Every structure is written in structure tokens, then in C-alpha cells.
Structure 1
Amino acid sequence: MKKGFTTGSCAAAASKAAAIMLLSGKKKTQIEIETPAGIKYSPELEDIQLDSGYASCAVRKQSGDDPDITNGILVYAKVSCIDPKDEEGRVLIDGGKGVGRVTRPGLDQPVGNAAINSVPRQMIEKEVRQVMDLYDYDGSLFIEISVPDGEALAEKTFNPRLGIEGGISIIGTTGIVEPMSTKALLDTILVELRQKRAMGDCCAIVSPGNYGREFMKEKYGYDLDAAVKCSNYIGETIDMAKELGFEKLVLCGHIGKLIKVSGGIMNTHSREADCRMELLAAAAIKCGASTEVLQEILGCVSTEEALDIYFREGIEKECFDYIMEKIAFYLSKRGAGQIQTECIMYSNKEGLLGKTENAEDIFQNKDF
């Protein structure tokens, strides 16, 4: 699959090109940089502007085969001279239009800074300093990174919930966009957890998604939008929470995902494992269901359909007591004695199906 280049690579390339144009007085149409991964990047330059006091240009982001909403956007760099020379920071970097600004602690950049992460900042400074050395320029340069479409795009990202306002982030640790989005998802989960820990949270409320939002509001007065979204990566999320020093974690979610945890499955994506009916049937066996009932459960397409059989047979309480016991066991096993793990499981139709021993206490005491 084809790899792409990050917004950080685009910003660094545009910054280098604008610096060359400013210090040489000549326009360029293409530039080359080396990414932290050691791969060369040679984009064409767009919307070139050269004035006596500044130079600017844009690089169009190419995400390769990765499904990325920033694919095709223009990342701009405007470079201008600063007088007098700033000995402490010869290369000053900030964000302009469409680049978000950090409003909450726990992110890569401190509150108030533009959401241009550390590695992209290092890339920009490295490339621009090489240009300054090439042209024997001993002054300071100010680099403004902007993304004209950034503010609108940011509404489709995690930035608003992370406390990054006004635009997208300039990111990337290798400069390369790898096809598939697993790493990006895990990085986002880590950022959310780190931010909540930095704000003093000792308990992480985690959910695969927003299924059951109304149930959680009505039952526990909790807005599921505030939970860390772990997607299918339940095991990795517990690992991250342990490493960050959380004392407790509560997993809240729909039976369609969480029933898999009762079988020790910590990545709930269907391509990894889909034994929902088998696990529901196993619980029914434990509770004395007949062979005919088991066959009926195994023939179900959805967990909601299987639930109807549980309730029809009157075995729902005994079955979910058993299922929650298994979930508690596997969550605790993953926690490895380093974090208290709890769980609340529900369905769209029936509401609360089961909970571990201390899960409700955490919500009642607002212990998060």
C-alpha cells in the first residue's frame, strides 16, 4: 500500500522553501526534505508569494492509501525576518489561520501554544536552520504555519474534545503516513488518557463509542461524550491507563462489543474475533438452557436478538451474573494488579444488563 506524508512533513517542506525564497530572492517550484524516517520528500510548491519582507508557499498533503480527512489540504508556511536578532530562538514558530491552539493541559504542547507538535517543530527548525547556514544569515526568522481549511476540518477530528480550538494539529513522529489507521487510533487514545491524567483524574471512564449515551445520562448522570473512546482496543487502553498511573478504570459499553471481553478478547474488531453468539450460548449452557434454546441463540444474527431469547426464557439475570463475572476476571487479569477495573454493560432495548461489583459506586461518588 502507498505511504503518504504527514502535515508535519508538509509544514517543514513549505517552511524550507519559503526560507530559501526569502533569503535568495528567487522563487522555487519544488523542494526536498528528509523525514525523521529517513525517507526523502520532494513535493511541488503551490501559491507561491515573494515580497521584500516575507515569502510564503503551500504544500498539498498526500496521505497515500490511508483514509485521512486531511488528504489534499494545503499546508502553508510564511517566513519573515525578525529584527533585532533573537539569540534565544533564531527560528520562531507559531500557528496561523486553521491551526489549532491548545486550551487544556496534558497535550504535546503547553496551553496557549499552537498545536504544532514537537517533532514537526524540530523538523521545521532543522530545515530552516540549514537554509540560514547556507545563506550565512545570522538573524532570526519567524515561521507561521497555516491551513486555510483547518477550522472546518477540525470539527471532524478529535481536536474539539481534546481542547484544541480553531483548527487542526500539525502532527507526525516519522513524517510518514502509514496505511491503515491503527497507530493513529492508539495515539489518539493515549493523548486523551494523558490529558485526563494531567487534569488530575484518577479514574478513566472508557467506552468503545457513544452507543448508550441516553442510558448513561439517565441512569448515572454521566455524559458518555466525556469518556475516552477506546474503539476496539480495550486491552491496549487498559495498558496505557496503567502506565499513566490511573488508579481505576470503568469500561462502559454495549453488549455487542463487551460480550467478547467475557471470552478474554481484548481487541473486539470483527476481523479479530466474532464469537458473540458462542459466548452468549456458553452462558446459557451454564444456566441450564435446553439444547433447542442453545441452537436458537447460535442462529441469531445480533446480540439484541439473542437477548430476546434470554428474557423469553427467564434466564437473563443468571446469565449476566455469569457473564459479568467472566468480564471482571479478564479485565482484572489485564490490569495485573496495577489498576482497579470495573465494567457496566447495557443494550439499546433492555438498558442495564450487568455491572461489576464496584462500578456503580464510582459513578455515585463522582470518582473520576
Structure 2
Amino acid sequence: MTENPELREPDLPRTMKVRQKALRTGWTTGSCASAAAKAAALLLRGEDLPGYVEVALPSGNRVTFKVEETVLDADRERARAVVVKDAGDDPDVTHGAHITADVSWRDEPGLDLDGGEGVGVVTKPGLGLEPGGPAINPVPRKMITHAVAEAVFDTSLDVEGTPDAAEITDPGTGRGLRVVISVPDGEVMARKTTNKRLGILGGISILGTTGIVRPFSTASWRASVEQAVSVMAAQDETTLVLCTGGRTEKGAMKMLPKLPDVCFVEVGDFTGAALRRAVEHGLRQVVFVGMAGKLTKLAAGVLMTHYTRSRVDTELLGRITTDMGGSAELAAEVARANTGRHAYELWEAAGVLGPCGRELCRRVGLVLERFAAEAAGTETSPIAAQVVLVDFTGERMIAMAGRMAR
């Protein structure tokens, strides 16, 4: 049942080495799409745009985007707006993309959101999106809905009170709106991503969970992770909570409310770097909180999990399925899964998510402790590791395994 994979910590891609300056944050395709959609909706309703539009991020903070281009059809039934994506200093293939929104009236009430040219179509399960639909992720969908609602109702809205799409209807005419997001040359951009392997065909995905692009995949981000661990240790805290992203960090804070915020580190791809620094500072407990994909990479022994340097080993998940008593048919289906999320969904549908999730967590914990022992130059790990698998909201704990420090 126990596997002892080779521990690997691949180097960063050459194009992502540290730059000799501070790195700028940028904006996600989701943020840009929401700004373009709001601009086009305002134009459609007769507003004179000053060239800039303000939208809300999921955090509630508001930011202003320059509107590069606007067009209103002669019959005033359709408007177009373009926002050029600035990805900051992240090595993002969509930097400079012209994120375009076409907004038109429709007789039915409510908001209809779709993808156009250059936005991929989902063809496989495991992405949290309906196959056959556009690759516009849930948070960007909500951001676009919120932005268009502000244009329709001519007011700023609290992000927590975003209306349902069905409620977005022009008060004066009773008509709804259709929003189509497109990205010229998006299909070409997508060739430099993993979209095709994931079953997203014909273009890029409209992504983002915070609305902000932070340069996670750089040596500077690795340095910031190491610094965060050092800061935590300087506060005489001994429990380090590593979270793979913003959603998992938010969920981890709810799970462990007694720990101060300084204990929580958004580790990104740099688990190995964080563990090495934790060993240097004599920390005794690590709690790793993540979703199925990242945990699978770690269980396979990969401590630097950037997508260009590792893949999700679904065959490992198939072996876990067998070890936990799953049928041969289920194990084979899991081994062929499109993504870690797809495997998770197969486990859930078969009623084995609990035991398989715990075994995945257990294997990750062993890898983390083996890595810590090697970093310390000892036979046994100086750090006890607990691992938590969360769902895809990042807030609900699905399984946990590992040991507590004594």
C-alpha cells in the first residue's frame, strides 16, 4: 500500500528565473472580461464612456480599467468593448490579449453569458464546467455578472449581493442581455497552454479566483514563500500551515481559527522551498491544505509543482483506488481521468472519496516528512506532517491524515 516515490524538486523554467526588479502584479482574464462587459453594457444603455470603467474584484476592492475600444451598432442593439490584458510580470501567454465583450439586447429577461472566438470549449469532465460550454470559470462568471448588473441598475453593488443572472433585466424595457466574451488569437495563445490536454479546445480559458495575477511561478515568489516562513518562525510559532492558493488559505483559516494569520503561507508551487526553510528554523509541525491535483503531484514525490515541470499522475490515483478496495473498473477509470478533479469526482460518485482521499493525504504526509528528513540530514523527520484534502471551494475538508508533533 505504501509507495516511496523518488523525491524531486525540478528547477524553474529558464524563462521564469528571477528578474532584477520588483515584480508587478497584473489582472486576470476574468477581471478584464468583467470590465469589457460592463463597458459594453453601459454603452448599450446609452452611456457616454470616458475611456475607463470601474469593476469590483471578488475581495470587494474596486479597480479601474482602461477601455481600449468601443463600438455601438447603428441600431443600438449591440455594443462591443475591448480591454487589453496586463499580466504584470507574470510569464502569462495572454499578456496583451484583447479581451472583448459583445453585449446585445434579447427579448427574454436575464443575462445569457457565452464564449466566442478564441475562448475554449470544454470537452471533458473534471474541470468544474459543463462539457460543451465555454471555458469561463465560476469566479469570472460571477465577476462578469456583477459588472453587468452594475451597468444595468446604474449603481455599485456589494460583491456578496451579486444578483442571479436571471434577475439582470433592464428596468426600463424588461429586456435581458446576452454577453459574448471573445479573445482574438486566443486559439493561437492556447497552443502554449495545457488546455488541449485538459480537453479545452479552440481557445484560452477565462480564469481567475481573485481577479489579480500575482507572479507565483517565479524565483521571486519562491523567495517570498521562504521569507514568509522565516517571519512566522520569528514570532515563535511552531505550526506552519501551507496552502496552495487563496481559496485553500481562506478555508484553512476557518479550520484552524486559533492559529494567528502569520502561520498561514500561500505556498504556490514551492512546497520544497517552504519545507527546507521550516527545517532550518526548527519548526515542528506542518499542515498542508490542498486540492486533489496538487496533492497528487506531491504524493508522486514532486516538491516543485509548476505545471511545466510536473503532471498529475492519475495512474497513482488508480492504484490508490485499488488499495482502498475500489473495483478494477473504477480504478481503471480513475487512472484514465482527465484531471485530478475528474478523479476526485469519480471517487465521490462511487462513494469512496473518504477512504481514497485519506490515503492520498497519508501518502503526501510521508513524502513531506521524507523530504524534511533529507533536508535535515536525519533518518527521521524533525517535522510532523498533517495533510488535508479540501473540495474545490477550498473551504470544506474532505479528508485528513498524518501525525501531530509531540
Return the alpha-carbon distance in structure 2 between the equivalents of residues 41 and 130 of structure 1. 14
TM-score (norm 2): 0.49
Q: What SS does the corresponding residue of 2:79 show, helix, strand or coil?
A: strand
Q: Quick one: which amino acid aligns to residue 136 of structure 1?
A: P
Q: What SS does the corresponding residue of 1:24 show, helix, strand or coil?
A: coil
Residue 23 (1) aligns with residue 58 (2): no
Return the alpha-carbon distance in structure 1 between the equivalents of residues 354 and 373 of structure 2. 18
Q: Quick one: which amino acid aligns to residue 357 of structure 2?
A: G
Change over 3 Å in CA distance of 1:263–1:227 after alignment to 2: farther
Match of 1:157? 193
**Kept in 1: contact 2:58–2:211 (CA 8 A):** yes
**Kept in 1: contact 2:369–2:383 (CA 8 A):** no
1:193 to 283, 290, 293: 293
Return the alpha-carbon distance in structure 2 between the equivalents of residues 111 and 150 of structure 1. 19
Higher-RCO chain (CA-CA 8 Å, sequence separation at least 6): 2
Residue 100 (1) aligns with residue 120 (2): yes
Residue 245 (1) aligns with residue 357 (2): yes
TM-score (norm 1): 0.54
Q: CA shift at 1:159, angstroms?
A: 1.9
Match of 2:142? 122
Moved more, 91-100 or 30-39: 30-39
**Kept in 2: contact 1:25–1:50 (CA 8 A):** no
Q: CA shift at 1:93, angstroms?
A: 0.5
Return the alpha-carbon distance in structure 2 between the equivalents of residues 212 and 29 of structure 1. 42
Residue 136 (1) aligns with residue 136 (2): no
Residue 7 (1) aligns with residue 107 (2): no
Q: What SS does the corresponding residue of 1:264 show, helix, strand or coil?
A: helix
Residue 264 (1) aligns with residue 373 (2): yes
Q: What SS does the corresponding residue of 1:132 show, helix, strand or coil?
A: helix
1:34 to 24, 47, 56: 56
Q: CA shift at 1:69, angstroms?
A: 2.1
Give RMSD over aligned pairs.
4.5
Return the alpha-carbon distance in structure 2 between the equivalents of residues 152 and 65 of structure 1. 21
**Kept in 1: contact 2:387–2:400 (CA 8 A):** yes
2:102 to 71, 75, 78: 78
Return the alpha-carbon distance in structure 1 between the equivalents of residues 85 and 116 of structure 2. 17
**Kept in 2: contact 1:107–1:191 (CA 8 A):** no
Q: Deviations over 1:118-140 (max 9, x none)?
A: 11111111121222223734211
Q: Deviations over 1:61-90 (max 9, x none)?
A: 11223332222211110000112x23xxx1
Q: What SS does the corresponding residue of 1:64 show, helix, strand or coil?
A: coil
**Kept in 1: contact 2:198–2:338 (CA 8 A):** no
Q: What SS does the corresponding residue of 2:52 show, helix, strand or coil?
A: coil
Structure 2 gap ranges (5+): 1-22, 155-169, 222-243, 246-266, 270-288, 312-334, 341-352, 389-398
Q: CA shift at 1:40, angstroms?
A: 2.4
Change over 3 Å in CA distance of 1:264–1:153 after alignment to 2: farther
**Kept in 2: contact 1:55–1:80 (CA 8 A):** yes
Q: Deviations over 1:229-284 (max 9, x none)?
A: xxxxxxxxxxxx98982645899xxxxxx99945436xxxxxxxxx5xx96xx8xx
Return the alpha-carbon distance in structure 2 between the equivalents of residues 21 and 242 of structure 1. 51
**Kept in 2: contact 1:79–1:144 (CA 8 A):** yes
Q: What SS does the corresponding residue of 2:45 show, helix, strand or coil?
A: helix
Match of 2:79? 55
Matched length: 248
Residue 110 (1) aligns with residue 130 (2): yes
Q: Deviations over 1:180-234 (max 9, x none)?
A: 33757959x967739x9xxxxxxx8675689899xxxxxxxxx999897xxxxxx
Return the alpha-carbon distance in structure 2 between the equivalents of residues 25 and 259 of structure 1. 56
Change over 3 Å in CA distance of 1:192–1:60 after alignment to 2: farther
Q: Quick one: which amino acid aligns to residue 98 of structure 1?
A: G
Q: What SS does the corresponding residue of 1:161 show, helix, strand or coil?
A: helix
Q: What SS does the corresponding residue of 1:174 show, helix, strand or coil?
A: coil
Return the alpha-carbon distance in structure 2 between the equivalents of residues 243 and 186 of structure 1. 26
Structure 1 gap ranges (5+): 197-203, 214-222, 229-240, 252-257, 266-274, 283-321, 341-368
Moved more, 108-117 or 128-137: 128-137
Q: Quick one: which amino acid aligns to residue 8 of structure 1?
A: G
Return the alpha-carbon distance in structure 2 between the equivalents of residues 164 and 192 of structure 1. 20
Return the alpha-carbon distance in structure 2 between the equivalents of residues 149 and 103 of structure 1. 20
Return the alpha-carbon distance in structure 2 between the equivalents of residues 206 and 166 of structure 1. 33
Q: What SS does the corresponding residue of 1:136 show, helix, strand or coil?
A: coil
Return the alpha-carbon distance in structure 1 between the equivalents of residues 300 and 72 of structure 2. 51
Q: Quick one: which amino acid aligns to residue 79 of structure 1?
A: V
Match of 1:148? 184
Return the alpha-carbon distance in structure 2 between the equivalents of residues 95 and 17 of structure 1. 17
